[in-house]
Structures are given as structure tokens and as C-alpha cells.
Chain A
Amino acid sequence: MSKTRRIKVNDSGQVSVVTFADSKIIDEAEIQELGQELYDLVEREDRKKIVLNFANVEFLSSAALGKLIGFDKRVKQHSAELILSNIRPEIYEVFAITKLTKLFQIKDDEADALAVL
């Protein structure tokens, strides 16, 4: 597995659990880097079950949402599965305002996410 700077990946059985290095995901260069690291999970490493754990994330911009949508598309193209978990209420509100709660499968915590993958 290649070295990542914006995410940390831990394997839990067949599932890759991803946490974010940055509590604020705003910087455009960092978002680009984040996107590439996420895309690599499915495109280069062929991971099929992924949990994005948002416990560290306190703020994210619309550009970060755009990158998550791009990741979701690639996940689907590679017949992989993606669940988002541990989203704090103010971040969940950002997903709700933009109706991305309809696009992503979201679970309260990592255990709930692992239980369905």
C-alpha cells in the first residue's frame, strides 16, 4: 500500500476503515491530494468495502463534498461498497442541506458500518 498523508487506512477483516488526517478539510491542494488517495483505494488497491470514519472532521467545504461525490462514483464503477460513519451533527447538517444524505449510506458509528459490510 502506498504512503498516504491525508488519510489513514486500517483494515478490519475485509473492510478498509479510513480516517482523515485533517480536522478542517478546506485547503484546495489538500482536497486534491485527499481525492487522489481515496481514488487509489479502489483504482489501484482494488479495495471493495470501505468505511469513511469522520470522527476527526470538524469542518469541510463544498469542494471536499465534491471530492467525496467523485469518490462515490469511482466506488460504484469498481463495484465496491462505501459507508460513511461517525459524522458529528454539524457536519451531518452540511450533508443534509446538500441532500447528500440521499446519496451516501451513513451509519452512526464504525461498528454499525462494519456490521452491514
Chain B
Amino acid sequence: MSEHSWSWTVNTSLPSQHGAHEPLVREVLVQLKLLRWADRDLFAVEMALVESLINAMRHGNQLDARKKVTVECKASPARFWIKVQDEGLGFRPERVPDCTAEENLESCGGRGLALIKAYMSSVKYNESGNSVTMEKFRTTGPAG
């Protein structure tokens, strides 16, 4: 990763409250559009951002505004990389029920993780489960 030439980077921390993720999501999408990412990949990145940031604020930090969600983010014409860390106790992704199993279709939870996994090229959680690192390789050619 260190060899990759990133066009844009940001390090920030967000309070864990409703809507705190929105300016960052907007900024990332603006930057990727400037790098000529196409709509299909923008949708994928937006989904992963929204789900991971809301998970960190809601489930990790229990929507306690004093607790921060720390975000490192990098983008280039070919790749998007992000690390999202909360101050919570973490979770074990493998213990989250499979929301796509027939018996779980109507149950709550797990769908955000399934969407992140589907839309990103790689998703890794740290050992304690309070940090997720994700990467998206651009799948479509330049927009317009």
C-alpha cells in the first residue's frame, strides 16, 4: 500500500451522533467524482461508508457524542482505502448471524455487514473488532 500514489487523503474524527457521518461521505464522493470514478463504484463506496460509519457510531460508541469515530481515508483514480475505528468493545463478525440465510431473512441485523462485504474488494476487522479496514478497487472505466 505504501507504494501506491494516493491523490487525496484525510484523517478525521467524528462525534458519535446522528448525521455526523454525512459531511465526510459527501466529501469522499466529491473527491472520487473528481478522480472520475463512475456511478456504480460511487454507489458501492457510499454504501460501505454509510454502513461502517453508522455501525461505529451506533453499535460501537452507543451514540455517545463524547466518543469519537476515527477515520483514515485515501483515494486515487484506481483505489479507495478507508479505516474506521470506534471506542467500543468491538464485536466478532463471525458471530453475527447470516442475514441471507432463509431462517434469518426477517430478522434484524447483519445486513449492513453483508452489504459492506459485497461492495468492497477487501474488508478486514482488527482482533478486538472495533476497527474495520476496507478497500475498493475501481471496477468500471472513467465516468463520462
- A contact residues vs B (CB 8 Å cutoff): 26-29, 59, 61-63, 65-66, 69, 72-73, 90, 94, 97-100, 102-103
- B contact residues vs A (CB 8 Å cutoff): 18-19, 40, 43, 46-47, 50-51, 54, 99-100, 102, 105-106, 108-109, 111-112, 114-115, 118-119
Question: Closest chain A residue to B101 by CB distance?
Answer: A99
Question: Closest chain B residue to A63 by CB distance?
Answer: B54
Question: CB distance A62 to B100 under 8 Å?
Answer: no
- The residues of B that contact A59 with a CB separation of less than 8 Å are 43, 46-47
- Contact A98-B115, Cβ < 8 Å, known A27-B18, A103-B105, A103-B106: yes
A-side interface mostly? helix
Question: CB distance A100 to B105 under 8 Å?
Answer: yes
B-side interface mostly? helix
Question: Closest chain A residue to B107 by CB distance?
Answer: A69
- Those 7 A-B pairs whose CB atoms lie nearest each other, nearest first: A62-B112, A62-B111, A99-B100, A97-B118, A98-B111, A103-B105, A90-B43
Expressed in whole angstroms, the minimum distance between the Cβ of A6 and any Cβ of chain B is 16
Question: CB distance A61 to B112 under 8 Å?
Answer: yes
A63→B102 CA distance, assembly (Å): 19
- Contact A26-B115, Cβ < 8 Å, known A66-B108, A98-B100, A100-B105: no
Question: CB distance B106 to A27 under 8 Å?
Answer: no
Expressed in whole angstroms, the minimum distance between the Cβ of A26 and any Cβ of chain B is 6
Q: List 20 A-B contacts (CB under 8 A).
A: A26-B50, A28-B54, A59-B47, A61-B47, A61-B50, A61-B112, A62-B115, A63-B112, A66-B109, A66-B111, A90-B40, A94-B47, A97-B115, A97-B119, A98-B100, A98-B114, A98-B115, A99-B99, A102-B102, A102-B105
Question: CB distance A28 to B40 under 8 Å?
Answer: no
A98→B47 CA distance, assembly (Å): 13
- The residues of A that contact B115 with a CB separation of less than 8 Å are 62, 94, 97-98
Expressed in whole angstroms, the minimum distance between the Cβ of B117 and any Cβ of chain A is 9
- Contact A65-B50, Cβ < 8 Å, known A27-B19, A100-B105: no
A90→B51 CA distance, assembly (Å): 16
